[in-house]
Structure 1
Amino acid sequence: MMDNVSILNNVFKDCFSIDDEEVKTIKLNEHPRWDSVGHMEFIAELEEYFHLQISTDDFVEIVSYDTCVEVLTRYGVKFVQY
């Protein structure tokens, strides 16, 4: 079973077609695939993999890896290796 850090990293890599080195530096609207449509798809993937529903307020707060971890932590997702 994968830990939550690995799951999150894979969601980033799969959604935005990036490699490991880009995962923690990618930002909303600074990458061609992370535009408004890509953001909606990314949030849907997060909700599916972490079995939660992200509120609109939190949805718009996710603009980077770090903000994503912050938001998911508020939903009870634990990141041991972060």
Structure 2
Amino acid sequence: MKRLLEIIKEAENSKIPIGHFNVSDLAGLKAIFEVSRALNVPVIIGVSEGERDFIGVKQIAALIKSLRDEYSARGAGGNYPIFLNAD
């Protein structure tokens, strides 16, 4: 999978946005993922300190990895550019 810096440079050169959205539950995470994937744009998922305490760092990282892996398993040709940011 490409690193975030590579994705940012590609997005800048292609003039496409990279959204950053905070989540507090699985429903929000899945909605953001589905829309960004449908638009074929990278996305950064943010979790605040309080959200990390509520969800758990390992748990949110595992959820994001799971979504990336699920997309790859569907024959999408590689990992989807979804990243985690601790706000």
Which has the greater radius of gyration?
Answer: 2
TM-score by length of 2: 0.28
Structure 1 length-normalised TM: 0.29
Structure (1/2) with the larger strand percentage:
2
